[in-house]
Structures are given as structure tokens and as C-alpha cells.
Structure 1
Amino acid sequence: MPNSPFRGAVLDLGSNTFKLLLAEQIGSTLRIHHEKAYPVRLGEGVALTHRIHPLACRRALRQIITLHRKIRAFRPDQMVAVGTSTLRRATNSKSFLSPATRILSQKITILSGQEEGRLIALATRSLSRNPNPRFHIDLGGGSLEVIDSLDPNHPKIVSLNLGCVAVRDFLLPHYPPAPNEWKKAVSSIRTSLKKIPAPSGHPQATFSGGTGHAYACLLRRRNMKARRLEGFSLTLSQLKSLLYRILPLSLPKLRALPGMPRDRASVALPAFLVLLQTMERLKLRSVRLTTHGLRYGVWIAHLAPAPIRKIVR
């Protein structure tokens, strides 16, 4: 039947958070019933050990049980579950994947960095209100994806192990970091970013990930819902100022900052550093935040019965 409602669920199993999207599409309109990021820290320590810690695994599986109840109550016509950086890298990923698959009664697809970038680019290109910028940056817990859409039909995707959890665990484990630790982190990140060809001029870019939400909340000194930040402008100068303001702070002081999201304090410094260095590499003066990340790309590629023209929340 034309324009009959289609109910779908997308579960994005990230390194720092699990994101659940429950939505219904009628024609070209996508109505969001539930959309939330759940902190799980599955990737904690994986950058160092290449293994999912048993405590992180148990924590994540408890969250999977809760999310499965929400999904089952929604009664979707179809569900897609995807895993990203931590589940790509951990040598013992089956310790989580096997029980999670049983709980969900659903296959979990592990995305390559290239496929993750492709789906993020698809969401950004399809759902952007403004003319599509050349670059899109997605900073997760385990990896950083940079998508260059100079040729929109053949975007170039670079995926690097520079997620905020990975950088914290491997390069910046102390609060505040010692001067030599900070210097080494900056140098290491800059070296990794050399894999991205530097553009000429000053291109435009969009940005997705919890880092943008944390930045906006700290700037406004109050916690805000992420969906209200669509199109929010994040400037290089403001980011640099914020980064050096939080650099000397201990973890308790980071947590006490007005507006700091509860689950972001321990990764704020590495996240802001990676974003700052990425913006400098790409010669960006600012980026615009978008909430249309990987889960929307998964919906468009695997669930959408028609192109999406409107999103209703």
C-alpha cells in the first residue's frame, strides 16, 4: 500500500555510547519516536589492550537487555544493528557479540571504517538543510572519520584510530596531563592526521558526535538536548580558548564545570584536542554541528522505503 507506515529500529553500538533510533516513515516523512545515546564505555581500555574488559562487557550487555525491551515494545517492522570501532578492533569482540546477538535475536553487522564513513556521508548529504559542505567530520569514542566530498559522487573517506576514548586511554590518561604527556599527544595526533590531504583555501565542514554537544553545553553553561543544536556553529578560536581553559583541570573540576554533560567529562580534553587538530589540518575556521550521524545513514541505506524530505520529532 502506498505511503503505509513503516516502523524501524536502528541500534548503533559505538565505543563510548549505544545510540537507539526508533522511528516511523510515512512517504517521505520520518517521525522520530525515540532517539537517545546511552553511555556504556564499551571501548574503555581497548586502545591499550586490544580487548574488551569483562566489566565493560557486562555493563554493555545490561544495556542491551534494556534496549531490547524498548525495541520489542515499539514493534518495528525491521531492525538493523551495527558495530563500529571497538568491535572492529577488539580481539575478543565475540565475548560481547555472541550474547548480544542472542539477546537481540538479531545479527550485528560490524562496519569497516570506510563503510561507517560512507553511511555518515550519506546521512549528511541527504538530510542537510544547507548546501553540502566539502568536509564532514565524525568523532566517536574509538575512531575519527573525515569525509571529503569535493566529488560528491565519489567521496574520499579517511578513518583513523583517534576516537576520544582511544586517545584518552593511550595518550592522555591523566587529569591534568603532564607537559611532556600533552606534547606527545599533540605530536602523535598531528602525525596521524597527515594521512588526510590538506586542502587549499578555507573549506566548509559539518561535524557530528558527542563532542559537539559537550562544546555547546560548556559554551552556554547549561546542558541542552542535542537535537536543539542542529546547525550550531563551532569556531576554531572558541574551541582553542575552551581547550586551554580545561587543560589544567582535574577530573572532579571538569565534572563540576557548568553545562558539562555527565558522561563527557573524562573524554572532553582528548575530544577537543582531536577536533582542534583536525580543524587546523583541514584549514577550517568553523564547523556546523549536525545530529544526523551514522544511525540516519543506516536508516537511509537499509530501511527507508522512500527518500526522506522531512523529519518530525
Structure 2
Amino acid sequence: MVNSSLQDDLYAVIDLGSNSFHMLIAKTVAGSLQTMGRVKRKVRLAAGLDGSMQLSQEAMERGWECLALFAERLQDIPASQVRIVATATLRLATNADVFKERAEQILGHPIKVISGEVEAKTIYQGVAHTSACSGKQLVIDIGGASTEIVIGEGQQAIHYTSLHMGCVTYLEHYFKDGLLSDSNYDNAIKAAKQILQPIIALYRETGWDYAAGASGTVQAIQEIMVAQRQDETLTLDKLLDIRQLTTQYISIEQLQLPGLSEERRLVFVSGLAILIAIFESLQVSAMGLAGGALREGVLYSMVPQLQRQDIRQRTIDSFITRYHLDSRQGERVACIAKLLLAQLSQPWQLSEAEHGLLTAAAMLHEVGLLIEYKQYPKHGAYIITNTDMPGFTKQQHDLVAKLVRFHKGDVLARDFESLGAHEKLATQLVRLLRLAVILSMRRKNDVLPELVIKEHNNALTLYIDKQWLDAHPLMLSELQQESLYQRKAGWKLTISN
């Protein structure tokens, strides 16, 4: 008998990790996936492995107790839309079958223990489906008992490996005494470098254009850096500075860094040691935070209609459908914004990726109209800030929200200070977006004359045919008002002919 209460648009992924168990619930909405729930429980399964790779009864009990909570949420989801995967600890445990048999009884679904290589490739798919990276991408995921390292391009993983080192197992081996000593750090880093040695030459030779961390360790480091008012890009110098900050405390128990959550504190230093070893061994210059990982990779594999290459366009299309945007007007604004930006790309030294951020803001600038007109830029920024945007990093997501927030009306240079390293870029893009919105105000095609914009010492001059301006007094008035807005912000804008 078919269960009529099943929700056909819901999907569930459970990841039985070595440090935590995660459950992700999502539904298909307007050509995209919307997260409906996330549940995470710290199980530290890897801490239950003894010298003979036997999983302790106590660790198994912790896992089963967690899965009993997850089981309740799975009852309304079709079985074909549920995936449960297990990783390093259950690959290593000699009595994994004991745990797995009882776990499957609790969940009512089969559990697939995936190989390290499959885990690495799936993690890469999770990153590829949630981020837009042109060129090769290095992806790092430090788990509880294994670390996956992948180089890929587009949707394809090129090199992928799973290494036997993780934040839980390294905590047990190298920080077992709980002390934050240089010797503990040095021993952990040395051990990680030895494990990394076989892949160093291949990965360095292949190279990459962008590095992304898909683990809690990278997220925790970013949160610490934000608390210190630094930008969110990880570098070796920043990692070493954080290591130095931690050694000011005697023990992990006493560790209290601004931005470091209590939940992450116990395994933070062991994860940091592994990450330092990776940066030094592979000569990683900079790293950002990935938007997805294993769970997202498994999730997207269940939804064939989302296997599109252009992730950013999929995200923008989803916004257009969900929030009833006028896509033709968005395209007009984007077209004019790109026309202006093309003339300034050389003096402002902007890349194609940065062009894409301006296009996204142009397409989404009216999203707040769904709420009401008077404060729609403010409403739009709120909607964007609080909606997942696959294909955009957190910094890019924040930048697009800022552009939408200040695409018209009062604006001050300090409004963009929270963007850190992206502050200058945001001020450049918002000046052009504001002009494009004004120049599109008639909401019609083919009504504009030739537009020429020039920059000198950060001052902009927009040249428009005088006869056309005389025939469009409202447009002229709006452009003159915009010149005053930009002057108030400390930017110079001249309208000339």
C-alpha cells in the first residue's frame, strides 16, 4: 500500500561521518534545491576505534542514539529519495557490520559505506554544484578520520585521493594530553606531511586556479578571522598566526578564541595542524570556503534536472521564478551595466568573474518588489542575504546583496566597509549598477543613444547626446540627482555631452 503522506518533492541525505552525523533535507523549488532542514550531532565515532580497529560499544551506542532521532524525520520521504552514506571510520572498523546492521534497522534504509575515492569524487561534485569556478579547483575536506584532496575542473574530478588523517584521529594521537604545546603541533604537522608526500609532485604539477576548503576546520578559521576583522581568505601566514594564538593557552580545555564555537573547540587544533601541513606541502597560497561537500554531492546526484553546468544561471533563474521578477527588465539593466563596465574594465582591472557579480545584481535588483515598493532595495538585500545562492562564495553572496541594497537612493562609502577586501570592488560596481537602473527606467528596449563612460582618478564622466537628454527631461533629472548622491558618498560623477 502506498503511503499517501509521502512528500514527493523532498530529498534526504544522511552522512555518517567520523566526527559528526549529519542529515540534510531539501526540496525542489523553482528549478533549484531549497534546504528544509539540517540536523547535526557530534558523535565522534572515530574516537571509539582502538589499536586493532575495533569500534567500541560506547561509540556505537552514541551513533545509534543519534540515528534514532534522524529516523523520525525520514518517515515522510519516499525511500528512493533517501541516501545514507558512511565514510572513513566505518571503512576502517573491523566490526563495522555490527554497527551497520543495527543502524539499518533503526533507519529503515540501507547504508552505503563508500570508498575513500568515491568520497573524494562526491565531495568534489558537492563543491562543483554549489560554486562557480572557472579553471581548475583544489578542494580540501578534513574529516574526522580522513582527509580528501581533489583537483577538478568544471564537473569533472581530475585527481582525487583520501588520506588516513583526520581531526578526531589526530586529536587522539597528537593532542591526547590536551596540551597546546609546540611539540604537539610539530608532531601532528610532521605526520600529516609524511602522509601527503606521495601526492605532492602530481598535485603541484597539475596546479589549480582556486582552492576551496569544504570542512568545518576551514569554516571555523574563517569565523575567527571575521571576529578579528580580517577578510575571509585563508593564507599560511594567517594559519600560523592562529596557531600562535592557540599556544597562548595551556590546554584545549582552556582555549577561547573570539569566533571559535564551543562545538568546534575540541577538534579545532588537530584540524588546524593538518591544514597547515597541506598549505606548506602543496604550497597553497590562498583558500576560500566551499559552498557544499559530501552531502550536497549525494543530494544533487538524486535530482537529474539540476545537472546543469551554469550554476550561477540556475540560481538566478530560481530567484526569477520564486520571486516573480521581471526578467526582461533585469536583462536590460544587466546589458547597460555590462556596456558601461566593458569601458572601465581596463582602468579598473576587473576580471570576467567580477563582471558576473554585476550581472547577478542587475538581474536580481528588483527582488524586493515582491514585498512592497517604498523600501524595496532594503527588502531585496534581506531576501538575497537569507536565501542560498549556489555558485557564489559567501563573500560574493554578501557583495551581491550589498549591490542590491544600494542600487538607488542614499548611499555612503562606509556602507561597504563590512565587505573587507571586496569593499573597493563593490563601490565600483554599485556606481555602474545605479546608472544602469536609471538608464533603464522606461522599461523599453532600443531607446538609448550611444553611451560613453570614462574614468580619471576614480572620477566618472558619462557622455550622452544632448538632444536625447533634452527630449528626456525626467531621465536627465534622475541622472543629475544621481550625481549628487555619488558626490555625497565621496565619488565624483559628471553627466556630459
**Map of 1:270 onto structure 2:** 270
Of 261-270 and 58-67, the range deviating more from structure 2: 261-270
**Structure ranking higher in strand proportion:** 1
- Deviations 1:135-170 (CA, angstroms, capped at 9, x unpaired): 111111110010022696451112101111111112
Q: 1:135 aligns with which of 134, 138, 145?
A: 138
Instruction: Tell me how large the CA RMSD over aligned residues is.
Output: 2.6
Query: Letter of the aligned partner of 1:140 in structure 2?
Result: G
Query: Letter of the aligned partner of 1:213 in structure 2?
Result: Q
For residues 131 and 8 of structure 1, the distance between their equivalents in structure 2, rounded to whole angstroms, comes to 29
Is 1:217 matched with 2:223?
yes
For residues 214 and 273 of structure 1, the distance between their equivalents in structure 2, rounded to whole angstroms, comes to 13
Gaps of 5+ in 1: 223-230
**Map of 2:24 onto structure 1:** 21
**Map of 2:47 onto structure 1:** 44
For residues 220 and 147 of structure 2, the distance between their equivalents in structure 1, rounded to whole angstroms, comes to 17
- Does the 8 Å contact 1:8/1:76 carry over to 2? no
Is 1:238 matched with 2:238?
yes
Query: Letter of the aligned partner of 1:253 in structure 2?
Result: Q
Deviation at 1:49, TM superposition (A): 4.4
Find the residue that maps to 2:121 and give its secondary structure.
Answer: helix
For residues 60 and 202 of structure 1, the distance between their equivalents in structure 2, rounded to whole angstroms, comes to 38
Deviation at 1:19, TM superposition (A): 1.2
Deviation at 1:11, TM superposition (A): 0.3
Residue correspondence of structure 1 range 71-150 to structure 2 within 5 A: 71-73=74-76, 78-131=81-134, 133-149=136-152
The structure showing larger relative contact order (alpha-carbon pairs under 8 Å, at least 6 residues apart) is 1
**Structure ranking higher in helix proportion:** 2
**Map of 1:227 onto structure 2:** none
Deviation at 1:232, TM superposition (A): 4.4
Is 1:257 matched with 2:257?
yes
- Deviations 1:215-238 (CA, angstroms, capped at 9, x unpaired): 12223349xxxxxxxx94222211
- Does the 8 Å contact 1:146/1:158 carry over to 2? yes
Q: 1:173 aligns with which of 150, 173, 176?
A: 176
For residues 182 and 27 of structure 2, the distance between their equivalents in structure 1, rounded to whole angstroms, comes to 51
- Deviations 1:73-127 (CA, angstroms, capped at 9, x unpaired): 5667620000000010011112321111001111100010000011111122222
- Deviations 1:261-291 (CA, angstroms, capped at 9, x unpaired): 2222111111001011112222112111013
Deviation at 1:305, TM superposition (A): 3.2
- Normalization by structure 1: what TM-score? 0.87
Gaps of 5+ in 2: 1-6, 308-313, 319-386, 389-497
Is 1:62 matched with 2:65?
yes
For residues 51 and 192 of structure 2, the distance between their equivalents in structure 1, rounded to whole angstroms, comes to 16
Query: Letter of the aligned partner of 1:102 in structure 2?
Result: Q
**Map of 2:195 onto structure 1:** 192
Change (3 A) 1:186 1:177: same
Find the residue that maps to 2:90 and give its secondary structure.
Answer: helix
- Deviations 1:166-203 (CA, angstroms, capped at 9, x unpaired): 11112221222555444332221111111223415774
Change (3 A) 1:150 1:300: closer
Deviation at 1:297, TM superposition (A): 0.7
Change (3 A) 1:47 1:127: farther
Deviation at 1:7, TM superposition (A): 1.5
